[in-house]
Amino acid sequence: EAQVTQNPRYLITVTGKKLTVTCSQNMNHEYMSWYRQDPGLGLRQIYYSMNVEVTDKGDVPEGYKVSRKEKRNFPLILESPSPNQTSLYFCASSPDGTYGEKLFFGSGTQLSVL
Amino acid sequence: TQLLEQSPQFLSIQEGENLTVYCNSSSVFSSLQWYRQEPGEGPVLLVTVVTGGEVKKLKRLTFQFGDARKDSSLHITAAQPGDTGLYLCAGYSGAGSYQLTFGKGTKLSVIP
């Protein structure tokens, strides 16, 4: 089944403790992206990757890092999480990210930073 | 970043009623998409509109892209409880654009 898989689904952590949220897609997509979703603010893009060689910042990249060492995986790294990073995170992918393409989303990771 | 304003933010209606959700911007978008998100899940694409004035129908859902490609609407006829969810519009700013900008969403509740 074609899908984007995120892990974990739920994560509670404390301020300053490094964490990684994994994202994997099995559709051979070039483009992958991370979003965070907050009440009243909607979905905001954190980082995106056009292919394994190119990664760029989205609208809210501060406090996050990403890595694209292979096409299928795009982990989101929080080096020193803070409470304002408590949010619902989504990973997404599409064939090559150009306009009009369908974006496939994972089921989300609910992160709480205490 | 180009902004997309969705209205209304919340909508609660009775089963069988019709409704329209709006997505507006001061900027031109090369294409606009509508997604539906259910609790605990990621958004799922409903439709993509590309041409100004374009109208697409998906069963009881009708999507329209404004002539100037700055706005879009989603009309649901005879809403059903299964239509309940968060509806999101999203736009690409230009050809070759890799950034999809989302509106804040319209939370729809259809009461049986």
For the stretch B80-93, pLDDT in tens is: 999 999 999 998 87
pLDDT score at A40: 86
* B39 at interface of A, judged by CB pairs closer than 8 A: no
B60 closest CA partner among B40, B42, B36: B36
* B15 at interface of A, judged by CB pairs closer than 8 A: no
Three-state SS at B6: strand
Long-range contacts of A57-65 (CB under 8 A, 24+ apart): A58/A33, A58/A34, A58/B99, A59/B1, A59/B99, A60/A36, A64/A34
> Model confidence over B31-75: pLDDT tens digits?
899 999 998 899 999 999 989 999 999 999 999 999 999 999 999
Residue B23 has pLDDT above 90, yes or no: yes
* A39 at interface of B, judged by CB pairs closer than 8 A: no
Three-state SS at B94: coil
Separation in Å, CA of A109 to nearest CA in chain B: 9
pLDDT score at B93: 72
pLDDT score at B2: 67
Q: What share of chain B is helix, strand, coil (3-state, %, to 5)?
A: 5, 55, 45
* A90 interaction partners in chain B (CB closer than 8 Å): 42-43
* A99 interaction partners in chain B (CB closer than 8 Å): 30-31, 92, 94-97
CB A35 within 8 A of CB A46: yes
* B51 at interface of A, judged by CB pairs closer than 8 A: no
CB A23 within 8 A of CB A73: yes
* A103 at interface of B, judged by CB pairs closer than 8 A: yes
For residue B103, give every residue at least 6 positions away whose Cβ sits within 8 Å of its Cβ, in sequence order, or none.
Answer: A42, B4, B5, B6, B23, B88, B89, B90
CB A89 within 8 A of CB A36: yes
